[in-house]
Structure 1
Amino acid sequence: MSRNRRETAQVRRATHSGSWYTDNASELNSQLSGWLTKCERVDAPVRALIAPHAGYYYCGSCGAHAYKQMDPAKIKRVFILGPSHHVRVSGCALTATEKYRTPFYDLIVDAKINSELNGAGPFEVMSIDTDEDEHSIEMQLPYIAKAMESRKGNFTVVPVLVGSLTPEKEQMYGMIFAKYLADPENFFVISSDFCHWGQRFNYTFYDKSQGDIWKSIESLDKMGMDKIEKLDAKGFNEYLKQYQNTICGRYPIGVLLHTIEAMRKVSNGYKLSFKFLQYSQSSKCSSMRDSSVSYAAGVLMMY
């Protein structure tokens, strides 16, 4: 998984800061605080979230609706599952670094959990090049650092790069992660944008009965979001097969849904529900020459 630049490093640099989001900590703090202040809290304990990973200019305000729900007082460890955009990964991969840098402060990688996961199933290890090239995990880090700032230095992160998985592999990893999701001291962040629409994405599905193209895209996305809210792993997979919607975090979402299924098999004592809190598009497409990316923020509540 190397691109022959650097094989190892103790710290993963914030390689997308200064371009995808500001590298000025004061400016970034003001920006995130402003978005978070405008969001409301749900009246339930939240144990996982789905948030977008595009540049903050496009999706930062959307992601705030999910990150508003993190309760740092109850969290000791944050699992971050993001899709691989640049390299082929047949399973899941863990970081080889000790820290992930953000403009706020460094996030400490949980070496103990990495070791446990390596012993529990087929996990690869990312080269530092693969780690630093990938934005899907990095774009969650400033928000995690901001939401968890009251526990700076007292929590860890477990970054997981998720490859193109079969439903069987999603189920396998779900069984591995189930015990961690069941632990109330753990929190899961699932990194995903939704529909990438337009000729530049080789995806132009258009249901004219919905009206404008952007309305068709929203309808398409919300069909998938409905499967997620119903915690229906099989239904979500069937939806993807039918419509081929270009949801880049489809595999991390699939792992989460299978994790929930596996956890339910071990214990039926949990009351679970998923709710999407915000949906947006980078632009409203009106012609076949246009393009857009959709964003959604949602949370898994567990009682």
Structure 2
Amino acid sequence: MHLTFLGTGGGAPSLQRNVTAIAFTRAQSGESWLFDCGEGTQLQFMRSDLKPGKLDKIFITHLHGDHIFGLPGLLTSRSMAGLTTPMTVYGPKGLKVFLETALSISGSYTDYPLTIVEIEAGWTLDDGEFRISAWPLNHTLECLGYRIEQHDKPGFLDAPRLKAEGVPRGPWYQQLKQGETVTLEDGRVINGADYLGPAIKGKTLAIFGDTAPTEVALQLAAGVDLMVHETTLEAAMIEKANGRGHSTTLQAAEVAKRAGAKRLIATHFSSRYLAKDMPRLLAECQTIFPATELAYDLAVFTL
């Protein structure tokens, strides 16, 4: 599975960065979930290797424009492209009014089932492979962070051992791989769990919306394999950052360290920062949390 950063800027787009949008692509199905959808996201989608037909869920962190102004265009363009698969958009209260108003007054529509689900902190969704939960953050508007947890998978099936014990190959191997018990044609009962190696632990990921420091962040990101956190401003601008509901480089790194995250990807940079400034911002993060990387538009990170 991997993350594609379609926009990594905060506030407004610049010549270096588009505004916030992150696509999470699942390894097996190739399906994608989009987290936030700032203006210009559909154009960035075209520039990436993502497939529009594989996008079926969008999760919004909050209703500031740099996180949602791309939604109406992206949703209506799906119809123009002839896509008919259902789409569900999740986000805080007010999302439904925003989208329905934008579509209505512009005379726009969708040719596919569109569901808008307003959620709040504590909400969860489990599709059998992943569990996603919403957590409250500390911003100037109601803002959510999302924790994605992949379920553990059964360990590898010991096929050589089965062969040595005279268990012929057949469709029952798939059941055995899931740890199920099967009865063979000769009457033998085989418990798949006896032939499986250790369970393969699922990956965990935390995607933050805009936030100033909050203790909830430590629970949201506890022990994750990868944490995506905003770093709107540099360490010296802490008062300005926190006063506007944002975090600095050092504050994001401190969350990653205290939460026990394995990796940190910093994003949502103020448009004041140019390419020449990025090594300095990275160095600030790495003084606290060495396993930090900086996101840039169209960057792909594997989880």
- The TM-score with structure 1 as length reference comes to 0.29
* Greater relative contact order structure (CA < 8 Å, 6+ sep): 1
- Return the structure number with greater strand share: 2
Which structure has the greater CA radius of gyration?
A: 2
- Return the structure number with greater helix share: 1
- The TM-score with structure 2 as length reference comes to 0.29
